[in-house]
Amino acid sequence: MSSFEDADTEETLTCLQMTVYHPGHQQNGIFQSRRFFSREKLPSSEVVKFGRNSICQYTFQDKHASRVQFSLHLFKKFDSSVLSFEIKNMSKKTSLIVDNQELGYLNKMDLPPKCMVRFGDYQFLIEKEDGESLEFFEIQFILSTRSLLQENNWLPQKPIPECGNYLSCSTQGNSPIEMGENEW
């Protein structure tokens, strides 16, 4: 029998796409150790750490970052057949903002399928694409040269528009603009 016939049935992998932005990246190469666009396959039982320390799978070349800034933990909900992610703040000094929610040290929460994660000047737009495999998942980094908050008109407190996509439905012009009384 050929190895093709013998091989296990291929399963699609859950992919976590992380679009990253930091204003100092071009000057200081904060994400320099990152391979952008390529997908990395990781075991789902692994805790994925982000931070300055070399124990982290994904490091930031930035003295302002904590040794371990945050971690991602995979789990399976009882009523689901796909992987879910939790994010935990591992920094004692810096809060982690997930959409509108602020996480202190060791606080954790389930990661929504699409969300903005921020700390300091760092911005991560995280989008999850479900797959079948429970054993492995993929992670893909994309570098943004523009602020993701501006680029995406990130207004997480607003409901998702009918087209279901923040990227294609600009809310610019619909939001009230703060101005002084004499600015008319």
Which residues contribute to the site for another protein (CB under 8 A)? 44-45, 47, 73-79, 83, 88, 90, 92, 103-108, 134-135
Minimal distance in Å, beta carbon 170 to another protein? Answer: 33
Q: Which of 63, 158, 167 is nearest to 120 (CA)?
A: 63
Q: Which is nearer to another protein, 100 or 170 (CB)?
A: 100
Minimal distance in Å, beta carbon 157 to another protein? Answer: 18
Helix, strand, coil abundance in the chain, percent, nearest 5: 10, 35, 55
Q: Which is nearer to another protein, 42 or 143 (CB)?
A: 42
Question: Which residues are bridge partners to 98 per DSSP?
Answer: 101, 117
At residue 52, what are phi and psi to the nearest 5 degrees? Answer: -85, -25
User: Taking the C-alpha atoms of 38, 54, 98 and 85 in order, what is their torsion angle to the nearest 10 degrees?
Assistant: 60
Q: Which is nearer to another protein, 104 or 161 (CB)?
A: 104
Minimal distance in Å, beta carbon 120 to another protein? Answer: 21
Distance from CA of residue 149 to its chain's centroid? Answer: 13
Minimal distance in Å, beta carbon 112 to another protein? Answer: 16
Q: Which of 65, 54, 74 is nearest to 128 (CA)?
A: 74
Minimal distance in Å, beta carbon 76 to another protein? Answer: 4
> What token pair was written down for 100?
């509108």
For the sheet containing 58-59, what is the strand order?
58-59, 48-51, 70-76, 83-89, 108-110
Q: Which is nearer to another protein, 32 or 80 (CB)?
A: 80
Q: Which is nearer to another protein, 21 or 137 (CB)?
A: 137
